[in-house]
Amino acid sequence: MATTRGATAINKAIKFIPDLVLLNDEMQTLKGLDVLKELRSYSEFKDTPVIMLSRSADKSNIINSIKSGANDYVVTPFDIGVLFAKIIGWQNSEMETQWHGLSHEQAKILRLLKVMIEEAFENVRKSTPLSASLIRYACEILYLTIESEGADAILKAVEGYNTTMFLHSLLTCVYMMLFTRYKRYAKDSCIELAMGGLLHDIGSAKIPNNILFKPGKLDINEYIEIKAHVQYGIEIMDKTPDLPQVVKDICLYHHERLDGSGYYGIKAEKISTGGRLAAIIETYCAITTKTVYRQPKTTAEAIATLMSLQDQLDPKLLEDFKEAATNNFKVNNVKVKQP
């Protein structure tokens, strides 16, 4: 069903309740954004995936669309394959079905982080700079959402799914935020460390899937290629203006270990604090997430595994992380919204 008029689109949509809405932001009589807002005001359309099509690649338009309830955004003219991939992605996304029970703010931050992660990976594939200000904005919203509603619902909404680069990036970002808030780091530090968590593996976008998701042991050339995700990430970060140094450090050092047994043999004194923290948190996220090859560890099992790596991971940060995880990252001033 297609129409060029905004008011007609709303009437038809209410009558037929489509599975998915493609909305051009240049419709007649009403702007696409107004149609989107009106559609979202009906309870029947609370969960319907909406993809906004626009000639504008302006970042503020993308953010406005997402804030107004769009699930995704495609710049026209577009490759039909790109659009199909997005449609299939949204229709097949089991993860999204678990977002239905979330509050407006919680669903919004998940959609925002999803868009940020996908766009960052696309930037790496195209060798174009990241948008540091948008990524910072998303992490600021995450900070505020966790401050007002905690993170339990967000984490529950992505629980049980096989790990993907999206999920791993999201979890590393959220746990980085949870830990730093628990330890009462300054707000800016929480946000910048969370940005590092979000972006630490973006270089993986250049690694072929057959190597990235290989179930068995990697051969030497495959291992060298996997290691290169650090360099691929740094290459893009070096091209990106206004990216905090700690974000680059996290990308550079997250696979280094105190005893020099990491990717590039960098030892304790050379590894930044952000890199040491990321090594702990991204390992925790990796082993507590299901993959197609193994079941996830529980929090207690994961902590025990991390504690067995005391020669490799920063002992003080490890102790702090253990305490934070044991207390479920609860901060006294978290206000939990009443239903």
- Residues in contact with Fe ion by the rule CB under 5 A: 201, 282
Residue number, 282 or 314, with CB nearest to Fe ion: 282
* Nearest-angstrom CA–CA distance, 90 and 82: 12
Smallest separation, CB 20 to Fe ion (Å): 32
Smallest separation, CB 168 to Fe ion (Å): 6
What's the angle, vertex CA 308, arms to CA 302 and CA 310, rounded to 5?
A: 115
Residue number, 86 or 229, with CB nearest to Fe ion: 229
Residue number, 192 or 201, with CB nearest to Fe ion: 201
- Which residue type sits at 120? A
Residue number, 144 or 218, with CB nearest to Fe ion: 218
Residue number, 138 or 199, with CB nearest to Fe ion: 199
* Nearest-angstrom CA–CA distance, 313 and 336: 33
Q: Where are the alpha helices (DSSP H) in the chain?
A: 6-16, 32-40, 59-67, 80-92, 94-97, 104-126, 132-149, 152-157, 165-182, 187-199, 209-212, 220-239, 245-253, 273-287, 299-307, 315-326
Smallest separation, CB 138 to Fe ion (Å): 18
Smallest separation, CB 102 to Fe ion (Å): 25
Residue number, 74 or 212, with CB nearest to Fe ion: 212
* Nearest-angstrom CA–CA distance, 82 and 177: 32
Smallest separation, CB 289 to Fe ion (Å): 10
- Which residue type sits at 95? M
Which of 133-145 are b and which e, b meaning 16 or more Cβ less than 10 Å from the residue's Cβ? ebbbbbbbbbbeb
SS3 state at 51: strand
Name the nearest CA neighbour of 148 among 113, 173, 181, 116: 181
* Nearest-angstrom CA–CA distance, 62 and 59: 5
Residue number, 3 or 305, with CB nearest to Fe ion: 305
Smallest separation, CB 287 to Fe ion (Å): 11
Residue number, 69 or 196, with CB nearest to Fe ion: 196
Smallest separation, CB 229 to Fe ion (Å): 6
* Nearest-angstrom CA–CA distance, 162 and 111: 18
The helix (run of H) or strand (run of E) holding residue 21 is: strand 21-24
φ and ψ at 296, to 5 degrees? Answer: -75, 155
Integer Rg of the chain from CA = 21
Smallest separation, CB 273 to Fe ion (Å): 18
Residue number, 249 or 282, with CB nearest to Fe ion: 282
Smallest separation, CB 196 to Fe ion (Å): 11
